[in-house]
Structure 1
Amino acid sequence: MPQPPWKAWYKIARWRLRRLSIFLRDLYTCRKCGLVEGDTSLLVCDHIKPHRGDAQLFWCEANLQTLCKDCHDKLKQAEEQASLHTRGVWH
């Protein structure tokens, strides 16, 4: 099964620059737990509202936040899983 076109957006220079600008805006601080992390490989530039391929929502700075990997991988994913029934996603 081919990947959706928006997956490639994460690999382009525009995304890398946007990601770093969000980390700088947020002072390299996780918006969930407050951890300050200078190693950007341990941070995630997270979409607050899932973009689902919507380019405008994907690139919108107001829809992006800095999360540490732990918060992203645990808390954020749990939030998204909990909302599956309201989004009509059942698998």
Structure 2
Amino acid sequence: MPKLKSIRPLVASIKPLVGRMQGEKARDQYRRNTQPWRAWYKTERWERLRRQAFERDLYTCRRSGEMCAGTGNDPNAPVANHKTPHHGDPALFWDIDNIETVTKRIHDSLIQAEERGRLFVEPR
């Protein structure tokens, strides 16, 4: 019977992934490094402003009319959405008239699609 030869390892043929993180954690880190204004969302000033917008809008989604009664990641949790994306412009970011209350479901689907330019929504 012939002697078995060892199989050459395939590890050397895999491209190195050093320095290339993947997943949500890597995306968050990239955004923190390239978009320093994202830290504004973690301030007490932002929390007060979004609460004021929610109260002004009576915790009602401005897009669907649905009551925003959820918490955390619930589809009907309230989200403070910037009507005009601020892209780091402090005047747009902190302007309460640029903030609308929407449900998380609307924010994560319809509004994200609008911002990516995949969907045209006629202005009201």
Q: Same fold (TM over 0.5)?
A: yes
Q: Which runs of 5+ in 1 are unaligned?
A: 84-91
Q: CA RMSD in A?
A: 1.4
Which of these two proteins has the greater Rg computed from alpha carbons?
A: 2
1:16 aligned onto 2:18: no
Residue range with higher mean Cα deviation, 2-11 or 58-67: 2-11
- In 2 relative to 1, CA 40–59 (structure 1 residues): closer, same or farther, beyond 3 Å? farther
- The equivalent of 1:87 in structure 2 is none
Which residue does the alignment assign to 1:72? 107
Change (3 A) 1:3 1:57: same
Q: For residues 8-55 of structure 1, what are the alpha-carbon distances to aligned partners after superposition, in whole Å with 9 as ceiling and x for unaligned?
A: 000000000001000000000001111112335411100000000000
Q: Letter of the aligned partner of 2:59 in structure 1?
A: Y
Residue type of the partner of 1:33? Answer: S
**1:82 and 2:117 correspond:** yes
Contact 2:68-2:102 within 8 A present in 1 as well: no
2:64 match:
33
Give, in whole Å, the separation in 1 of the partners of 2:71 and 2:99. 15
Which one scores higher on RCO, CA 8 angstroms, separation ≥ 6?
A: 1
Alignment match, 1:7: 38
